[in-house]
Structure 1
Amino acid sequence: MLASFLITFREGLEAALIIGIIAAYVAKLGRKDLNRYINIGIISALVASLAVAFLFKVVYGELQGTAEQLFEGAAALTAAIVLTYMIFWMAQNSKKIKGEVQEKIDLSISKGQMFGIAALSFVAVFREGVETVLFLGTLAIQSPADTIMGFILGLAVVIVLSFIMFKGIYRLDVNRFFRYTSILLILFSAGLVATAVHEFNEADIIPEIVEHVWDINPPLNSDGSYPPLHENGLIGGSLKALIGYNGNPSLTEVMAYIGYWIIIGLFVYRSYRKR
């Protein structure tokens, strides 16, 4: 539940921040008539995101065996790629977001292309919506009820915090927000990469090299249930959903996880250190 809460909170707040920048600039220009185009973009993006979620559910529900493992691996890898792109993009552009958004609004108004503003708000919401669907989709495969609960709680917090920010009660440091949440995204993405490799191991697409580098899963309880620290137990299962924890990973899983942290972590560290 924690993983779905955090990703919903992060992605939802990012979309809200960009929509807030658009709405605030339009209000500053005295063009409240443009709010309807912002709303058109938001509503269209929400509908499109729901369509992607429905498609994900339909496709996954039809798969079994190796095809199911391949789909789970591909979904996890796709989510990791999308999140990694966002990590790169934010590391390079977090300080320039406000100026770029305002430039696009000015360009749309000067050309009389008001639907350009709708497109701007659509992209802001749909991009985060697709990321959320991909990430939560991989989590829901493991624990659907917890994923839904985390999503609802995350969305509720985003709505409340967005209202507070839009009313001017609290001012969020956008650059700091993206910097710290990038660490969370790296954590999530590394887990997704490891999960993808695990599924590809099971489908015999990627060799394990060593089947289990270690095995710290405790034995099952006498009643057949999983103890809390087992990867399928209460604590281990939560860590599995959050960071891709595996109590008995293959060598390629470990290599993928550590390799991702080294490559992406160094890039983000250097990007923010230059500022």
Structure 2
Amino acid sequence: MTSQTLLESFRIATVVWRESFEALLVIAILQAWTVHESVETRRRAARSIAGGAAVGMLTAVGLAFLMGEASDFLDGDREEVLQLILAATASALMLRMVIWMRSSARHASSDMKSRAAGLGKTGNWAALGLLAALAVAREGAETVVFLFGMLSGSDLGSAGVVAGSGTLGLGAALMTLVAFRSGASSFSKKAVLTFSQILLLALGSGLLMAALDKAVSLDFISTMTSPLWDTSWFLDDATGPGAFISGLIGYRARPELLPLLALGGYWTTALLAYASPLANKALA
């Protein structure tokens, strides 16, 4: 397995793990209120939530099909522009997701559980299913955008590698959910969530640099300067471990000014999610 294939497999598995875990966690939250309800209520809630989740998944599959068709339809510079847009969008969404997770995820979980309980206790099963469908569709759509952003323009040609990596990520998501529900310590839960956030930020950083490279190659923007230094003697970004790190977080052995400014802005914004007042709100 080449370093490029290993990188793409890792990125796919990471995204599928994080987004699948989020979707599974949402379903678990929607069902949590039924613990002390009657058997019939639990069954009806489970059917509604499962049906909604299935609709959400089909919506994500439909989006993937449409994006694939659009990609096949385009050629030349138009395809390059689409790849640029997808990479930039995925990077921005990953950064936004981490900021949101740090600022309001806990309150959102409580609100969702309360809404689900209210709908279930009034017998509004269709609305409960719709809530599940919207939640799963959102996670699925994000997964589609992230994967298309990462794989557009990639040389990864094996569908088996993509499917295997996705399956690995889904399996990891199921195991993570089981660990959460089995009573893992709050420290372990916090560590897993923080680890997943850091991985998302790293992937977003790499996608930002991929988008910048694409914009430069299309002559949309200039790098502003010639390379400011050269560390390829220590870690070459074209081969081996350096290529893996380059694709993952956007490392460049010979960086120009614009990429440095872009990375600096990205990581400065990301760090704000871990500083007051956002961090305080997340831990409240």
Percent sequence identity over matched residues? Answer: 23
User: What does the per-residue CA deviation read over 1:124-183, in whole Å, with 9 as the maximum and x for residues that have no partner?
Assistant: 2222212211121122231433544322211122234445655x3757765553333222
Q: Any stretches of 5+ residues in structure 1 without a counterpart?
A: 219-228
Select 1:21's aligned residue among 20, 23, 29. Answer: 29
Per-residue CA distance 1:90-138 (angstroms, 9 max, x = gap): 1112322332112211332355432221122122222221221112112
CA distance in 1, matches of 2:236, 2:164: 22
Alignment CA distance shift 1:71-1:236 (3 Å): farther
Tell me the TM-score normalised to structure 2 length: 0.81
Distance 2:146 2:228 in 1: 27
Instruction: Give me the whole-angstrom Cα distance separating, in 2, the residues matched to 1:4 and 1:234.
Output: 19
Letter in 2 for 1:8: V
Change (3 A) 1:134 1:230: farther
| Aligned twin of 1:65 | 76
More moved, 236-245 vs 88-97: 236-245
Post-superposition offset of 1:75: 0.2
Partners of 1:133 and 1:109 in 2: CA distance: 31
Q: Does 1:135 align with 2:146?
A: yes
Call closer, same or farther: CA 1:25–1:111 in 2, change over 3 Å. Answer: closer
In structure 2, the residue matched to 1:185 is 200
TM-score (norm: length of structure 1): 0.83
Q: Structure 1 pair 102/252, CA: closer, same or farther in 2 (3 Å)?
A: same
User: What residue identity is the alignment partner of 1:179?
Assistant: T
Tell me the equivalent position of 1:261: 267
Match of 1:4 in 2: 12
- Alignment partners' CA distance in 2, 1:205 and 1:52: 28
What are the ranges of 5 or more consecutive residues in structure 2 without an aligned counterpart? 1-8
Give the Cα separation in 1 of the matches to 2:189 and 2:116: 20
Residue deviations 1:173-207 (CA, integer Å, cap 9, x gap): 65553333222222221222222122111112222
Q: How many residues matched?
A: 264
CA deviation digits over 1:17-50, x for unaligned, max 9?
1111112223433322121110111111111111
Q: Find the aligned partners of 1:62 and 1:247 in 2 and give their Cα distance.
A: 35
SS of corresponding position for 1:205: coil
Larger RCO, structure (CA 8 Å, separation 6 or more): 2
Q: Aligned-pair distance for 1:230?
A: 5.3
Measured at CA, do residues 262 and 134 of structure 1 come closer, stay the same or move farther in structure 2, by a change above 3 Å?
A: same
C-alpha distance in 2, partners of 1:148/1:237? 23
Partner of 1:225: none
What's the counterpart of residue 222 of structure 1?
none
In the other structure, the counterpart of 2:103 is 92
Distance 2:253 2:78 in 1: 24
Aligned residue number for residue 45 of structure 2 = 34
For the residue of structure 1 that corresponds to 2:32, the secondary structure is: helix
- For 1:1-275, what aligned pairs fall within 5 Å after superposition? 1-30=9-38, 31-32=41-42, 33-109=44-120, 112-141=123-152, 142-144=154-156, 145=158, 146-163=161-178, 168=182, 174-214=189-229, 231-270=237-276, 271-272=278-279, 275=283
Q: Is the CA contact 1:186–1:265 (under 8 Å) kept in the aligned structure 2?
A: no
Check conservation: 1:87, 1:182, Cα contact below 8 A.
yes
